[in-house]
Chain A
Amino acid sequence: MIERIEQLRAQAQQEIAAAVTSDAVEQLRVRYLGRKAELPQMLRGVAALEPQQRGEVGRAANEARRALEQLIGQRAAELDAQALEQRLLADTADVTLPGTPPQPVGRMHVINATMRELEDIFLGLGFTVLEGQEVETVHYNFDALNHGPTHPARAHTDSFYVREPAGHATKQTIDVKAGHDSMRLGAPTDLVLRTHTSPMQVRAMQAHPPPLYVVIPGRVYRPDSDATHTPQFHQVEGLAVDEDITLADLKGTLLAFAKTVFGDERDVRLRPHFFPFTEPSVEVDVSCFHCSGKGFQADGSRCPLCKGEGWLEVLGAGEVDPNVYSYVPTTERNAPGYDPEKVQGYAWGMGVERIAMLKHGIPDLRLYFENDLRFLEQFG
């Protein structure tokens, strides 16, 4: 019996090792370990043996069965692994094909992205962001910003006027002097599409007491249309009013802006200019980032961005004109109010399109509002 067990074991071992498919291994399992197989039957027949034989035969048979079970398991696993490997190999990918993209991200519009960048700069400097209304009263858009009653910017050639809604109480804020009433034709209604974000200067001062540090991003309108003018565009207004804010503070603030937007090496210069609601008024230039302010390129040719000037005009600014404070009524909300002998401050208005244009080399303002995807996807 013992010999027979050893014989079966050796034979099975040989056959298991030679099996090359999972099916063959399964057949061997049935043949050697299945219910009707010889070895299990021997084990079942152990009880019928002579008592002195039982222990020896039973042990040998059990041992042989366990060994075969293990061998079969091993061989099956080996073969499974081999089969898997072959399936995997058959599933060859051409790694040079393009990847499958996740849902691609979209883009913010370059103007919105630029406005956000500007907001963040001034948030970091301690300014709060306010917004205003786009349909404004002539009062806030012109009068309260020290535009004389006959200032040319009020003309209907320079500002969009909005027909007054029925039932809206018109308050005639234009000082119609004899001889100046011609401007009534230029200013047919009391409502304009704001021509700048500056109307929010007086609105902000009406709503908050000094000290006041705010920026006002928004859409503004003027009736011009060509490669360098669109009838709608965007500005970021700045206004800071405190006891002692100087023109030098304006320079420092805008230097921080210039360095952030155009690079750490940038410088700013203030050039005297004129605006009705600032005094002194300045235009602010940033040293050209294309030629590092030299005016010419490495090859000696004139810088195409600053046209050889070394400076790029980016915005208008100045100390708030004392007359503007006189348009701010003192109320409970903004007490103690804005007395030009006690407070002073600066204001600026920067054109978002202009800054984006300089920064990204955008050649034509009209591109901003055509919304061509091939344009939009380059920024934001």
Chain B
Amino acid sequence: MRVPLNWIREYCDPPLDTAAIEERLTMTGTKVEAILHHGVPSAENFVVGRVLVAEKHPDADKLKACKVDVGDAAPADIVCGAPNVAAGQTVAVALPGAVMPGGMKIKAAKLRGLPSNGMILSEQELEVGAGSEGIMVLDGLTVDAELAPGTPLAEVLAISSDVFQLEVTPNRPDCLGVYGVARELHAATGAPIAPEPWGEDPGTDGPVAGAEVHVECTDLCRRFTARAFADVEIAPSPPWLKARLMASGQRPINNVVDITNYVMLLTGQPMHAFDLDRVAGARLTVRRAHKDEQITTLDGQVRTLDEEMVLIEDADGPTSIAGVMGGERSEVEPSTKRVLMEVANWNGPNIHRTSWSLGLRSEASARFEKDLAPEQCSHAQAVATRLMIELCKARLMPGTIDIADPTVSSPPIHLRERRVQAILGMPVPLERQAAILGALGFGVAHAADGLEVSVPPERRNDVSREADLIEEVARIHGLEALPATLPARRGAYGRLSPRQQARRRAVDALVGRGLFEVFGWTFTAPTLFERLRLPDDDPRRDAPALENPLSEDHALLRTTLLGSLLDAASRNVAHGIADLRLFELGTIFSLAASRPTGEAALSDTGVHEHQALGVLLSGRVTPVTWGSPSPPRADLFAVKGVLEALADALHIPLECQTGSQPFLHPARAATVTSAGRDVGWLGELHPLIARDWGLDGAAVMEITLDQLLVEVPMRTYRDVISFPALRQDLAVVLPAGVPAGDVLTVVRSSASALLDDVRVFDVYTGAQIGEGKRSLALALSFRSPERTLTDEDVAPVRQRIVAALSELGGELRG
């Protein structure tokens, strides 16, 4: 909210400069987000002048040569281009040396041969009004026309003001009005506060002749008040009022509309002026809208409403959307004679919903949506009535329409003196507590061990408990004085769970292997499943959906990390970075009760969440150097190498078996298992999928970590140092279709405990061994914790291995 500082100072004027006031407000909870400046940079050299002579310039048709009394011994010569300048006017003058709002400096000059020692100003030039029809005439309507020439202009008009841009928290709608901010400043500085501007109300109670209001939905409209005014003279507002509105960021329109805006800015309570003669039937009805009912708002737009929105109608139909925006039909216009001033209280959340769903936010809705107190209606009526009489020469008609729920009363709150220190960790003396609450407008009485505090209506929503009062005391007393201590931390010892440790180890292993971690979007597009060629019954199509996505591309929660990895890769390739080693560790979601890849995390939402790890390799797996200008490109074995590194880092077995995925190369894909359980997949991306994302091939993998991380074992020592291992090689020729994994499994299961390790170190196919055959060279390592093994020791084991291999169709080679 924009608040001119000089307006605040009218109610509370501490002997502090702008920066000090900003600091006090910010540190007591009303954050000053920015200090703006409105009007001229400095009031110096701006004075009141009186036009003594205004004659046509001899050499220019549109200019006038004026002599203006600016309080000096001799009148100033000023050449003026405004059509309305005339002798006898009291005007605003910028003398040489004055600096205009845009930074232009006024200098003595010659215009078409005549000297001009200053400038007669328009409202717009001073930023005190929007009118540009010539110069501003300070006549009796605006300020005292008998002002002595030479009087500093700033004494008559707010031509230079600091303006605070305030961040008002949603619990403090009372600070959406200048007086509320002034009260905060009063509490924060101790400077006196002027009486409430609504203290004197010229109005009376009772029915209003010739106007009627009916409220059908008292649940959404808790109070509706209206007053009628006759003999209204619609005119521009006086400069002081225009200047205030301008500095607050509002455009002056006419005195009646300006009064409604001024009252809202001052009290925080929005209000609306109807042209009573254009209220059909002189009767207003407040009701819920019908479904798809339409209304044209003040901004000329046709709005379609629903049954949860409230409108105000007269005999001819809807005139405004309650609490949000008025309609065109009964708007105040220059010919208006009779005005109905409406001040109502609307249900905050309902207004919030209406304004958001219509995309229509106004100063009024921004206040109403925070739930104002019904009592505030009276504040606004009182101030507005006074101004209507004063500025519009209006005649107040007797009575006030007042449709109200019974006033809510809130019981006093007990504040224990000790409790303040117990919560804050610093002492605040009881008298200080009482003084703070009093300054904030609370009623304070002493009680046995503290205070009895009653809450003013406009704070009722925010303050209802002892804790709320402690906050009030704390923020005004000042949190700067808080010491910095640490809690006792009884029984607290910081640690990561084994699962968290394992996850860190996984990340570190991958980073150490040269992979880059990416953070993709949780959101995914329904079209992803088509692009990945997932069949209709694939459980990954069963993705949780958002009710209100930002876009169709973000409509679902992802069921695989592959989409975001491909997107990341695609983006990089498009930017010329083709060698990619990416991984992502993130949550994937599923609706299926159980997924094949792991056990669902416990959930009370019906949506299962899994920690998944995805890897994408594309392009060259190691950097190009002058020594190795063409390193290998990412393939199945590159991504399997990553899997093995991960398995190694976590000390968990991860195996690959021939498998398939709709988005993978049909012959270069694997299912990843751990202890026989399916935990994911890896392989080379199907070329058509790669092409879809603009990639020149990629090797990818995804595994679900949930269960794996829990299973990371505790390691115990194994003696592999006292006695050396015995190493032997074995080359076996097998039918080409026998997977190496099966061979290793057979070797392991047929060998005794003496076999420590077996791995494939060479693969050969060729004429030497014949068509349809493949030779695998195995490195066997035998070990005993008790002695050094000899060839004789392992000979029987080796025989068993050979026998078992022959059952797979294997023969020892050469």
Contact = CB atoms under 8 A, between A and B. Distances in A.
B609 A135 contact: yes
Contacts of B545: 162-163
Given A150-B349, A156-B548, A371-B571, A271 B609 contact: no
Contacts of B217: 179
B119 interface: no
B297 to A, nearest CB: 20
Contact of B349 (A112, A157, A182, A232): A182
Nearest to A124: B494
Interface string A84-103: 00000000000001101101
Interface string A290-309: 00000000000000000000
B465 interface: yes
A333 interface: no
B479 A272 contact: yes
Interface in A208-222: 211, 213, 219, 221
A256 B626 CA distance: 48
B474 A247 contact: yes
Contact of A160 (B348, B352, B424, B546): B546
A240 B492 CA distance: 10
Nearest to A281: B471
B766 interface: no
A100 B622 CA distance: 11
A378 to B, nearest CB: 11
B425 A106 contact: no
A279 B546 contact: no
B607 interface: yes
B492 A282 contact: no
B785 interface: no
Nearest to B359: A157
Given A100-B625, A182-B353, A248-B485, A123 B494 contact: yes
A373 B580 contact: yes
Interface stretch (B25-33, B68-76, B132-140, B191-199): B25-33
B547 A188 contact: yes
Contact of A134 (B356, B423, B467, B587): B587
A166 B572 CA distance: 39
Contact of B480 (A109, A180, A269): A269
A97 B626 CA distance: 8
A36 to B, nearest CB: 43
Interface residues of B, number: 106
A227 interface: no
Contact of B485 (A225, A252, A282): A252
Contacts of A131: 500
Contact of B514 (A104, A156, A244, A251): A104
Contacts of B582: 371
A251 B478 CA distance: 13
Contacts of B607: 135, 162, 165, 191
A156 B517 contact: no
A373 B577 contact: yes
A247 B622 CA distance: 53
Contacts of A247: 423-425, 474, 479, 482
B287 to A, nearest CB: 14
Given A182-B308, A185-B353, A373-B572, A135 B484 contact: no
Interface string A145-178: 0000011100111001111111110000000001
Contact of B494 (A105, A125, A160, A232): A125
B423 A252 contact: no
Contacts of B334: none
Nearest to A170: B606
Size bracket, chain A contacts: 35 or more
B589 to A, nearest CB: 7
B146 interface: no
Given A219-B522, A246-B423, A279-B470, A133 B603 contact: yes
Contacts of A107: 511, 516-517
A225 B626 CA distance: 45
Contact of B484 (A116, A188, A251): A251
Interface string B484-512: 11111111111111001000100100111
Contacts of B623: 101, 104
Nearest to A307: B34
Contacts of A253: 486-487
A370 interface: yes
Nearest to A234: B519
Contacts of A122: 494
Contacts of B300: none
B520 interface: yes
Contact of A271 (B29, B577, B583, B627): B29
Given A152-B352, A373-B516, 9 more contacts: A112-B519, A135-B605, A182-B308, A182-B349, A185-B353, A185-B357, A231-B523, A270-B482, A272-B474
Interface of A: 97-98, 100-101, 103-109, 111-112, 116, 119, 122-129, 131, 133-137, 150-152, 155-157, 160-168, 178-183, 185-186, 188-189, 191, 193, 211, 213, 219, 221, 223, 225, 231-232, 240, 242-249, 251-253, 255-256, 268-274, 279-283, 319, 321-322, 344, 368-374, 376-377, 380
13 contacts: A103-B514, A106-B511, A129-B500, A152-B170, A161-B546, A165-B607, A185-B357, A213-B492, A242-B490, A271-B29, A272-B479, A279-B467, A371-B567
Listed from nearest, the 6 A-B pairs whose CB atoms lie closest are A248-B425, A246-B425, A179-B219, A168-B606, A150-B349, A272-B29
